[in-house]
Amino acid sequence: MALCSILGYPRIGFDREWKKALEAFWSGKIEETELHLKLQDIRLGHLRKLQDKGIDLIPVNDFSYYDHVLDTAVMFGLIPDRFRHKDGPVPLSVYYGMARGTKDATASEMTKWFNTNYHYIVPELHDANPVLTENRPLQAYREAKTKLGLEGKPVVLGPLTFLKLAKGYTAHETDLWLDRLIPLYVQMLQELAAEGVQWVQMDEPIAVVRLTAEDIQRLKRIYANLAEAVPSLNIMLQTYFESVENYRDLITLPVKGIGLDFVHGLDGNLSSLREHGFPSDKILGAGVINGRGIWRANLDDKLALLDELQQAVPAERLILQSSCSFLHVPVSTERETKIPYEIKGALAFADEKLDELVLLRRAVTEGKPAVAEELMTAAEALDRLKQSPSRNRIDVQEAVALMTAQDPKRSKPFEVRRIAQQAKWKLPLFPTTTIGSFPQTSDVRKARQLWRKGEWTKDQYTAFIHEQIDTWMKLQEELGLDVLVHGEFERTDMVEFFGEKLDGFVFTQNGWVQSYGSRCVKPPIIYGDVASRGDMTVSETVYAQSQTDRPVKGMLTGPITILNWSFVREDIPREQVAYQLAYALRQEVLALEQAGIGMIQVDEPAVREGLPLKEEEHQHYLSWAVRAFRMTTSPVQEATQIHTHMCYCEFHDMIDSIVDMDADVISIETSRSHGELIHSFETNTYNLGIGLGVYDIHSPRVPHVEEMAGMIDRVLHVLDPKLFWINPDCGLKTRGQNETVAALHNMVEAARLAREKYAASTPS
């Protein structure tokens, strides 16, 4: 008989009570004992739900006080020296110190978990001497057993993945570190086995990335060691997010089960299975329900897939699973009261996905007729959305097809545009500007709420926004900035703002997912064809421009960033959705130009995070991403200056694509990565306008003039001075007004000094 299981359940709770408990503890509102009690309540509540729903193999230790990678590091005593922790169990103060920093020690770095929007804390190994400080999986297993009589499946981050995600060691120390870690894993698993644990889920998502021959040897060594030390324990070697490379090596590892993703890695995993079969002594963890998407599954397709899987693996050796942890989807659609019926019916968040898994298990074990009615209901719900006019907008589809048939290109090459733009704007050498947003004070947030709740009229709200714009136009002029911005006071979030003004989007009331630590995001849902309903940013921008003689940059969020920060429909390729977004934004670009705005910035901070895990797919993604950007920005006149902005430093492997975007000016983060990007320009030439952020906006610290001047000097070694702009790293909305003004003041001064220094040697 087939079983069903999931790989992990969201931590945040039905009502984000997890987030609230953490934050109450951090701010001193509750004591540690109360935090433990609250989190235990949440944890047990989740387990009870999984029991009630009828999940057979229930994960434990997927819960966390912050992040599961941090948990693993702390469990192995890998505490950086600066936290001054001696031996023994790691107190919460150190645990949260590593996550968030203390007054004496900076936090560990945080980075994205594979290609998701979840961020984990990067373990720092250095010369630490790992020990098992406590057996967290064992504690989780015991708790579930004693409190709920539940036979849990501890989830553990596997040694190879853990090591690959960590830093603070060199490549040739990898085996040394494995030698240190394997005994700890053995000890942990032996304790689990002694307690009577049957299944352990060892997460090794690194196996979906192409492994070197050495890494494959390492996997073999790890799992041979574990199998020998704990032969009685069933290890499910779990992969997710893509198909596995090296399938044949993987299926010969001495583990009881192999977990594969048949959603995101469907084609690859299925063809491996067809070609090489599946060993008859192993269980297949078949990840068939999408752990990352929010749509109901097409159960007929899933059953067809399961039929095919059963040709290689009989039902009694199948575990029907989620494709990955449900960490990446909201908890439940139950409380969504505002989403139209035809859309809500087609949604499945974590809890609804549990029902889908149980239903599939019943279909496999009892036969389809036993669940015919449920299958029909599900199919009807999907069909309602499919038939919805909003998914079938001929106007949009025709317009986008027409646009797609053309090569999106500016009318003139950059060299010609540059001359036209220079003649029009007469900007000084090293023009100064900012990235778009200015401090969003509590007043601004309050005003927005008053308006949303209907307590303020549209006029009242507009007057308020205009006042904010007035203040900052004056400040920018006083500071002596060359290109001004209106400040984005009317926007809570750079994606939500546009989503709310476009057709094809819907917003949840409670669709939160964890982004990092207690921080949750509520991504918009793109459910239908995207279309413009008219101007979105013109009035604020034109108002700002009316207050000054200097140029004001219009400010838009780009198509790829909107796409990557939303939940997206799955019935058409993402590429098509990107083009629809591009079409709508292109109209806004033209509207701004028409209204006299001659500089338009289209932000694309999220381009890099959409990069597929498989390297061979990078090029295709980048080419349609660039195309969407160019569709958005290409129809303007040559004198209209297109800007773009990106955050984060890892651009060295995509500089060609950035050049291809053909923006007249790009601003990129550099200061947090200590100028790493600058090196890239030593080997790659960049011949378009470029502003490298000269100061870090993530800190309230006001940088000195000399620091910024130093950064400018470094940059000018590798970039053409006449193409160089000066700006901060990113938007300033999280900063306070005083520190912002002080920092910008110093930035303008640094620019002035640079002009003095370089003017003579730089022909225009």
d(CA 150, CA 141): 8
* Structural tokens at position 185: 């894993």
Place of tokens 């990067």: 122
- With respect to ligand GLN, which residue has the nearer C-beta, 156 or 435? 435
Active site residue 698: yes
Question: Is position 282 an interface residue for ligand GLN (rule: CB under 6 A)?
Answer: no
98 and 80 Cβ atoms separated by less than 8 Å = yes
d(CA 201, CA 235): 6
Binding to ligand GLN by CB under 6 A, coded x per residue (else -) over 722-751, reads --------xx-x------------------
487 and 439 Cβ atoms separated by less than 8 Å = no
Q: Which amino acid is at 33?
A: T
Q: Which of 698, 704, 717, 745 is catalytic?
A: 698
Question: Is position 605 an interface residue for Zn ion (rule: CB under 5 A)?
Answer: yes
Burial class, 575, CB count within 10 angstroms (exposed 0-12 / middle 13-18 / buried 19+): middle
Binding-site size for Zn ion (CB under 5 A) equals 3
* Structural tokens at position 191: 């304790």
- With respect to Zn ion, which residue has the nearer C-beta, 47 or 647? 647
Among 19-27, 279-287, 435-443, 629-637, which window interacts with ligand GLN (CB under 6 A)?
435-443
In whole angstroms, the minimum distance from the beta carbon of 698 to Zn ion comes to 10
d(CA 624, CA 620): 6
Question: Is position 585 an interface residue for ligand GLN (rule: CB under 6 A)?
Answer: no
Binding to ligand GLN by CB under 6 A, coded x per residue (else -) over 527-566, reads ----------------------------x-----------
160 and 219 Cβ atoms separated by less than 8 Å = yes
- With respect to ligand GLN, which residue has the nearer C-beta, 361 or 733? 733
Binding to Zn ion by CB under 5 A, coded x per residue (else -) over 694-733, reads ------------------------------------x---
- With respect to ligand GLN, which residue has the nearer C-beta, 576 or 727? 727
Nearest to 122 by CA among 106, 138, 139, 135: 106
- With respect to ligand GLN, which residue has the nearer C-beta, 537 or 587? 537
* Structural tokens at position 292: 């990352």
Question: Is position 469 an interface residue for ligand GLN (rule: CB under 6 A)?
Answer: no
Question: Is position 605 an interface residue for ligand GLN (rule: CB under 6 A)?
Answer: yes
Binding to ligand GLN by CB under 6 A, coded x per residue (else -) over 481-500, reads -------x-----x------
Which uninterrupted H or E stretch holds 3?
Answer: strand 3-5
Within 13 A of 346's CA, how many CA atoms are on the CB side? 25
d(CA 109, CA 124): 9
| Contact pick of 242, 588, 603, 729 for ligand GLN (by CB under 6 A) | 603
In whole angstroms, the minimum distance from the beta carbon of 603 to Zn ion comes to 7
**Partner from ligand GLN, Zn ion, none contacting 238, C-beta within 5 to 8 A by type:** none
Question: What is the pairing mode between strands 689-693 and 665-668?
Answer: parallel
| 3-state SS, residue 234 | strand
Among 12-20, 390-398, 434-442, 698-706, which window interacts with ligand GLN (CB under 6 A)?
434-442
Nearest to 256 by CA among 278, 277, 284, 219: 284
In whole angstroms, the minimum distance from the beta carbon of 434 to ligand GLN comes to 7
**Partner from ligand GLN, Zn ion, none contacting 3, C-beta within 5 to 8 A by type:** none
Burial class, 334, CB count within 10 angstroms (exposed 0-12 / middle 13-18 / buried 19+): exposed
Q: Which amino acid is at 96?
A: Y
Percentages of the chain per state (helix, strand, coil), in multiples of 5: 50, 15, 35
Report, as residue numbers or ranges, the catalytic residues.
698
Please give the residue ranges that form the binding site for Zn ion (CB under 5 A).
Answer: 605, 647, 730
Please give the residue ranges that form the binding site for ligand GLN (CB under 6 A).
Answer: 435-437, 488, 494, 555, 603, 605, 645, 647, 730-731, 733
